[in-house]
Structure 1
Amino acid sequence: MSQNSLRVVWVYPDLLSTYGDQGNVLVLERRAHQRRLDVQRLDVRSDQQIPTSGDIYLIGGGEDRPQRLAAERLRRDGGLNRAVANGAIVFSVCAGYQILGHEFINDLGQREQGLGLLDVISTRGEGERCVGDVLADIDPQLGLPPLTGFENHQGVTHLGPTARPFARVRFGKGNGTGDGTEGAFNETVFGTYMHGPVMARNPHIADLLIKLALDVNALPPVDDRWYEALRDERIAAASQPA
């Protein structure tokens, strides 16, 4: 990959793109263009093969049946696993996050095999659905400001020993386990329950993915006034007493 180009793959927009998650692709493209990077974007529908030559793969959320179909097709295809083996970066949201784990509960109430790219297992929660604004502190290792987003899920995701929590919640449910964790990550694969779209609220996540893909420590600064205004608004809203 050239230091001046980036190949971005949006996985199954026809199945996994709820709550404006496609906005993550737009924000990532915008942040890359602001750094004068040439972005090659490929939207891969569920009847197409997943290319293995991408630098960053983005996966959104979806309803239960589309999630099962997506998992079946991604397992059969194998391209995303091969891309990760080649060093690609993956960022997933909600249903996409669950698919990247070892297993989740599908729309038929059965255990559905995931891709095993994150050491997590998702079950179905017995209590209230996790819905509402979230404010969380991202793992200090990643060097990012607090996470703000919107969650809407019944799933509960348990982290295994090789997965680290993406963040720890101040407000909200996150993984739904009651331990304050939100999302999970390893060196190149990230998962979160945050919609919003999450990168519009947290553009520094897009910057992190770009840096990892380019293997650089820093990016040129950009004008973040619009993003910061949105962040301040949502953080203030999430901090209000219920």
Structure 2
Amino acid sequence: MARPHRLPAESSKRGTAVSSSSIKIVWIYPDLLSTYGDQGNTIVLERRAALRGIPTETVHVRSDERVPADGDIFLLGGGEDRPQILAAQRLSRDGGLLEAAGRGAVVFAVCAGYQLLGHEFGGEEGQPVAGLGLLDIRSGRGDTRAVGEIVGDVSAELNVPRITGFENHQGVTRLGPSVQPLARVVAGVGNGDGNGFEGAYRGHVLGTYMHGPALVRNPGLADLLLRWAVGQELQPIDDSWAGRLREERLKAVLPS
């Protein structure tokens, strides 16, 4: 299980065992997986935690460094084919992310990062490349590239409002029986497997094709990750600015 943390005021009275340690956010391989500003996801988590008085520690782990297994939230971004293959190989050998996910740490991955969490993904020539097996998904290369805005209605059990992002991929991701789709596509392509879904999750491991960055555009999704990490509900904060950006992007895609 992820380590619990102390929240301010009465939020810490919900009966969950807590400690005073900070949330450790691990940004994995920024030298390989960091396209389209996905590092912004780390900044949003830091900011939204700070507004609630929750301390954070952020560690940037390059591909020649070990992944610390004691993190609470692990983030992976998008990348090109070769860096994606290198990242999958090094993460498999390293074992830190696998160990952390096994004890219930939060993992949030975008695009290439999402694909490499699965059993396999398409390599430079479309050949299957082994992934980490943290999600029951298999990805390959489709005939056309999905480029543009994406909107989706999130699985009800996650209690997250409609999400918005930017996708740029040629991947086709098929979900196995042990995962759930993150959202049903309202506009855009998403997983591209013909079932009309975007992303996938199981437990505290969640993947998506959404850039944007995804957590900047979707504060509810950022708070979901923080809730998972602290093991409790979060105090409300002023979301007016984040809400404006989200509504602006939604109206740009769905003006009616």
> What is the TM-score normalised by the length of structure 2?
0.91
Q: How does 1:70-219 map to 2 (within 5 A)?
A: 70-126=87-143, 128-216=144-232, 218-219=233-234
Letter in 1 for 2:211: H
Letter in 2 for 1:7: K
Q: Deviations over 1:183-229 (max 9, x none)?
A: 0000110000000000010011111111111111x211111111111
Q: Deviations over 1:36-87 (max 9, x none)?
A: 1110110000000111000010100001111011011011111110011121
Q: CA separation in 1, counterparts of 2:29 and 2:180?
A: 26
Counterpart check, 1:223 vs 2:238: yes
Q: CA separation in 1, counterparts of 2:153 and 2:25?
A: 27
Structure 1 residues not aligned, in runs of 5+: none
Counterpart check, 1:239 vs 2:251: no
Q: CA separation in 1, counterparts of 2:253 and 2:150?
A: 6
How many residue pairs were aligned? Answer: 239
Helix, strand or coil for the counterpart of 1:235? helix
Q: How does 1:35-74 map to 2 (within 5 A)?
A: 35-74=52-91
Q: CA separation in 2, counterparts of 1:53 and 1:108?
A: 36
Asked if 1 retains the 8 angstrom alpha-carbon contact of 2:126 and 2:140, the reply is: no
Helix, strand or coil for the counterpart of 1:223? coil
Per-residue deviation, 1:177: 1.0
**Which residue of 26, 32, 35 corresponds with 2:49?**
32
Helix, strand or coil for the counterpart of 2:59? strand
Q: CA separation in 2, counterparts of 1:61 and 1:77?
A: 20
Per-residue deviation, 1:109: 2.8
> What is the TM-score normalised by the length of structure 1?
0.96
Q: CA separation in 2, counterparts of 1:84 and 1:232?
A: 33
Helix, strand or coil for the counterpart of 1:129? strand
Q: Deviations over 1:119-155 (max 9, x none)?
A: 00001002x2111101100100000100100000000
Structure 2 residues not aligned, in runs of 5+: 7-19
Q: Deviations over 1:141-181 (max 9, x none)?
A: 00010010000000000000001000001100000112110
Per-residue deviation, 1:240: 4.6
Q: CA separation in 2, counterparts of 1:173 and 1:74?
A: 28
Letter in 2 for 1:219: L
Q: CA separation in 2, counterparts of 1:240 and 1:46?
A: 42
Letter in 1 for 2:142: G
Q: CA separation in 1, counterparts of 2:226 and 2:248?
A: 26
Q: Post-superposition, which runs of at least 4 consecutive aligned residues in structure 1 deviate over 4 A? A: none
Q: CA separation in 2, counterparts of 1:46 and 1:163?
A: 28
